[in-house]
Amino acid sequence: MSKDNTPVNASAAGTWRLGDLSVNRMGLGAMRLTGSAAFDYSAPSDRSTSIRVLRRAIELGVNHIDTAAFYFSRLRSANELINTALSPYPEDLVIVTKVGPGRDPSGQWYSATPEQLRGQVEENLRQLGRDHLDVVNLRRMSQPSIAEHFGALAELRDAGLIRHLGVSNVTADQLAQAQAIAPVVCVQNQFNLDVQAHNEVLRRCGEQGIAFVPYFAIAGEGRERGAAARERDGERVLAVAKAHGASAAQVRLAWTLQQGPHVLAIPGTGNPEHLEANIAAGALRLTDDDMALLNSRLVGGS
């Protein structure tokens, strides 16, 4: 239940479409299911708690989970946890994964060539126990052009391994490169109160009806290290939070969702209480004055 005793449900944030798939705008990121810090081999998560978070998310209306085969830490794999907790999958559940970066079994990173993308797609299929993937994002590493990599994914879509395609960590020009090859249903870029370098991509997605899916919406500049690594919440965020009886994290999520009806949120957590608080943020409506105050200066200001 939320603080005003209304039922918490992800549907309160509204819906959007990823191609022909409808999802609630409040989803779940799977990265933190594997441990207290992303890619941390020193502190694996409690397996039963991670499974409980996933099942509770479904109970609370989450039907959009963001994951990747390279989300693993010592002893834990996000995809394996999802498979164990949720298979057989609910009919309305949309699982979005990403390829491009990869990690070998020891955790060492590599950047996939176009030819290696099929192996990454098949790895996601095996881990999730599926015959096809709902949505696959090409996560750009450092390459200026994504055409060759995205073309390889388009071929896998034509082969029936993938239903829809998206891109991640791209500029507006790179989005256009992908669109010249195949339809793009979502763009996943870093975007939050602290980091707003992708306003042009956000705008173009809104004009074209493409879902814009920010990552690190709560963590801000803390990135993979999480919200605890963020320097602090500015007085403006705390003032808005106090006015609504909400937390700073909930204000950050509400601000994210109010960037446009095409904006989705995928906050990641392995904590059941944080999960419920995050989903409750989907019902938080910030006023025009709240938004003006939050937008008047970056969060770190006083």
41 is catalytic: no
pLDDT at 222: 46
pLDDT at 296: 86
pLDDT at 37: 63
Q: Residue 272 corresponds to which tokens in the numbers above?
A: 């059941």
What is the domain partition of the chain in residue ranges?
10-233+261-284
pLDDT at 263: 98
pLDDT at 35: 86
pLDDT at 40: 64
Buried b vs exposed e over 105-125: b needs ≥16 C-beta within 10 Å? eeeeeeebebebbbebbebbb
CA 190 to centroid of chain Cα atoms:
10
- Cα–Cα dist 188/191, whole Å: 9
Digitized pLDDT (tens) for each residue of the chain, 302 residues in all: 455 566 789 999 999 999 999 999 999 999 999 986 656 656 788 999 999 999 999 999 999 999 999 999 888 999 999 999 999 999 999 999 999 999 998 889 999 999 999 999 999 999 999 999 999 999 999 999 999 999 999 999 999 999 999 999 999 999 999 999 999 999 999 999 988 878 999 999 999 999 999 998 997 554 444 444 444 668 899 999 999 999 999 999 999 999 999 999 999 999 999 999 999 999 999 999 999 999 985 544 33
Q: Residue 27 corresponds to which tokens in the numbers above?
A: 């989803």
pLDDT at 220: 54
Say which CATH topology domain 10-233+261-284 has.
Answer: TIM Barrel (3.20.20)
Active-site residue identified among 41, 71, 89, 110: 71
Q: pTM for this structure?
A: 0.92
pLDDT at 232: 60
